[in-house]
């Protein structure tokens, strides 16, 4: 998933664009070209392997945060810390990108907003991507970073968007199995079932200008590594959800991942998990990262979710 660049003025303030232009713009730039065919997905893997994209932060972020970086194991790991309010805990955020796309400027903007408006130190791992990275490696690395954040910053929540939502939920499941129940896991347009087999996906597909099944299956086949595609490390929707901490889930109705989000909510509630579900009518994949009024409102939903988890 490639996120369109957000418009920024010279002072670093994000400009808001009308929501009605998002769909046509995504179709115009062929945002779904890596997903609409298996060949497109293979081309994207080759492109990103030959020409890796920069993962560093933008030159300008809001002035009330500080960005640091260190190497943890084999990963570059960034932290975005608030500078004008006391620290109240931590967030480990797994960025999306279809398991092949690097962290984007919009992820940095969201991380800075979370840090500045909640007081949390946001940890951003630069995890290995397809064709080198796998679901098991990402899960293990994120689990270790959550434990590290708890030791350094206190109560810690997990969050992620799209492919990062898959990583976050699979890590939350493993942490629960290891005796760590998180106070909140916040998922924006999460990928949950990498079989792409939900019968409602074809019904949503015509309205989604971003994602599609053929390419998604190619990326998933690489990402699963040696695991079965239905292993909860790969497809957390197949996991036992009982005993998880609270979930906040955001999903737009013009997103082919929306049917699986609805299944997650149903299964989690049946398992006794507290779920705060926000379904964006007419909204696209990861719309909280888009510079629209609806996107800004969804960002605040994420901020409030993190705040509830840390207080």
Catalytic residues: 162, 255, 285
Neighbours of 272 (CB within 10 A): 10
Could you give the C-alpha distances from 136 to 82, 174, 234, in angstroms and in order?
Answer: 31, 11, 7
> Half-sphere exposure of 202 toward its Cβ, with a 13 Å CA cutoff?
2
> Residue 269 burial by CB count (10 A; 0-12/13-18/19+): exposed, middle or buried?
middle
Helix axes 135-153, 163-177, angle to 10 degrees: 70
Going from the C-alpha of 193 to that of each of 58, 86, 131, 274, 302, the distances in angstroms are 32, 38, 20, 21, 22
SS (H, E, C) 161-179: ECHHHHHHHHHHHHHHHCC
Let me know how long the chain is. 311
Q: Is 84 left (phi over 0), alpha (psi -120 to 50) or beta?
A: alpha
CA 29/CA 31 separation, integer angstroms: 5
What interhelical angle do 293-310 and 105-118 show, nearest 10?
A: 50
Whole-angstrom CA distances from 188 to 44, 151, 158, 277 are 23, 26, 11, 10
Residues paired with residue 159 on neighbouring β-strands, in sequence order? 93, 186
- Yes or no: say if 79 and 123 are a contact pair by the CB < 8 Å rule: yes
Residue pair 123/90 in contact (Cβ under 8 Å)? The answer is yes
Nearest partner of 49 among 132, 116, 143, 150, judged by Cα: 132
């Amino acid at each position: 998933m490639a996120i369109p660049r957000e418009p920024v003025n010279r002072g670093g303030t994000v400009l808001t664009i009308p929501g009605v232009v998002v769909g046509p713009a995504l179709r115009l730039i062929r945002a779904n070209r890596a997903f609409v065919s298996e060949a497109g997905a293979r081309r994207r893997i080759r492109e990103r392997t030959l020409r890796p994209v920069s993962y560093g932060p933008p030159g300008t972020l809001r002035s009330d945060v500080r960005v640091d970086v260190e190497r943890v194991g084999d990963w570059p790991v960034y932290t975005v810390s608030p500078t004008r309010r006391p620290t109240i805990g931590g967030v480990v955020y797994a960025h999306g990108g279809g398991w092949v796309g690097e962290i984007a400027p919009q992820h940095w903007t969201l991380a800075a907003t979370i840090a500045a408006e909640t007081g949390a130190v946001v940890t951003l791992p630069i995890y290995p991507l397809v064709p080198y990275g796998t679901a098991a490696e990402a899960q293990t690395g994120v689990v270790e970073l959550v434990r590290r954040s708890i030791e350094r910053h206190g109560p810690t929540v997990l969050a992620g968007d799209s492919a990062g939502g898959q990583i976050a939920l699979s890590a939350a499941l493993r942490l629960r199995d290891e005796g760590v129940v998180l106070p909140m896991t916040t998922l924006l347009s999460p990928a949950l079932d990498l079989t792409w087999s939900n019968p409602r996906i074809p019904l949503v597909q015509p309205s989604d200008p971003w994602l599609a099944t053929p390419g998604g299956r190619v990326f998933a086949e690489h990402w699963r590594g040696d695991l079965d595609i239905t292993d909860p490390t790969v497809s957390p929707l197949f996991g036992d959800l009982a005993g998880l901490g609270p979930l906040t889930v955001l999903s737009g109705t013009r997103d082919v991942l929306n049917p699986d989000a609805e299944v997650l909510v149903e299964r989690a509630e049946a398992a006794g998990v507290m779920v705060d579900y926000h379904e964006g009518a007419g909204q696209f994949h990861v719309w909280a990262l888009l510079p629209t009024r609806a996107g800004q409102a969804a960002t605040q939903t994420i901020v409030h979710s993190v705040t509830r988890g840390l207080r």
